[in-house]
Amino acid sequence: MLTSKDKKTLRSIAQTRKALFQIGKDGVTLNMIKTISDSLEAHELVKVSLLKTCPLSVQEAALDIAGGTRSEVVQTIGRTVIFYRRSKENKLGL
C-alpha cells in the first residue's frame, strides 16, 4: 500500500516519462497484462495510455491492469494511467 508521500514521489518521477504502452480497440488482453507485468518488474513504474478506440473506460482498464499485474494505480490523468509495483531489486527505493 502506497502512502500519499510515496504517490507524490512516484508522480514526480512519472511526469518526465513517456507512456510505454497504448491500449486500443482490442482492450486489455492477457498478452498485454503479461507484457505490462514484465515491464513493471524491469522499471517498477509504468505509464499506460488509452486510445479513444479502447472499448473500456479509463477506470475499468486501470482496475483490470492493476488486478492482473498485482500493481497499484498511482494516478490517472485523462486517458493515461500510472502503475507501480515494487521489483525484487527495489530500484526506486520506496
pLDDT at 91 over 80: no
Q: Which amino acid is at 79?
A: R
Looking at residue 88, its pLDDT comes to 83
The structural domains of the chain, with segments of one domain joined by +, span 4-84
Tell me whether strands 21-23 and 80-84 are parallel, antiparallel or unpaired. unpaired
Q: How do residues 63-86 score in pLDDT, each as one tens digit? A: 999 999 999 999 999 999 999 999
With 0-12 CB in 10 A as exposed, 13-18 as middle and 19+ as buried, what is 93?
Answer: exposed
**If we measure between CA atoms, which residue out of 76, 72, 63, 75 comes closest to residue 27?**
63
Give the whole-angstrom CA distance, residue 21 versus residue 65.
12
Architecture of the domain spanning 4-84? 2-Layer Sandwich (3.30)
Query: 48 phi and psi, to 5 degrees?
Result: -125, 130
Q: How do residues 30-60 score in pLDDT, each as one tens digit? A: 999 999 999 999 999 999 999 999 999 999 9
Question: Could you tell me the three cell numbers for 37?
Answer: 507485468
pTM of whole model > 0.85? yes
